[in-house]
């Protein structure tokens, strides 16, 4: 959450255009996705159990939903930014 708040602060202070904001936010989401996904993949290889595969699927689903939620929040911030600059 700290990374997300810092990125929003950076976007508000330094990003000039909406496309630049979207690009920065996309990189942040990709970093989080790779970080969590890589950790889950390493654990799955280490255990090779059915329970953990089900758990991994559940965690990936939760992660996708949370990333979708964060991207929706960012879209709202972008809309507010566009309305303020128009």
Phi-psi region of 48 (alpha: psi -120 to 50; beta: other; left: phi over 0): left
For residue 70, pLDDT over 70 is answered with yes
- pTM, two decimals, is 0.39
Cα–Cα distance, 21 to 75 (Å, whole number): 10
Quickly state the pLDDT bin for 76 (edges 50, 70, 90): confident
């Amino acid at each position: 959450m700290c990374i997300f708040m810092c990125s929003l602060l950076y976007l508000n202070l330094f990003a000039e255009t909406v496309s630049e904001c979207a690009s920065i936010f996309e990189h942040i989401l990709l970093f989080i996705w790779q970080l969590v996904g890589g950790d889950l993949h390493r654990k799955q290889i280490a255990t090779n159990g059915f329970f953990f595969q089900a758990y991994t699927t559940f965690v990936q689903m939760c992660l996708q939903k949370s990333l979708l939620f964060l991207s929706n929040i960012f879209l709202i911030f972008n809309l507010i930014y566009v309305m303020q600059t128009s």
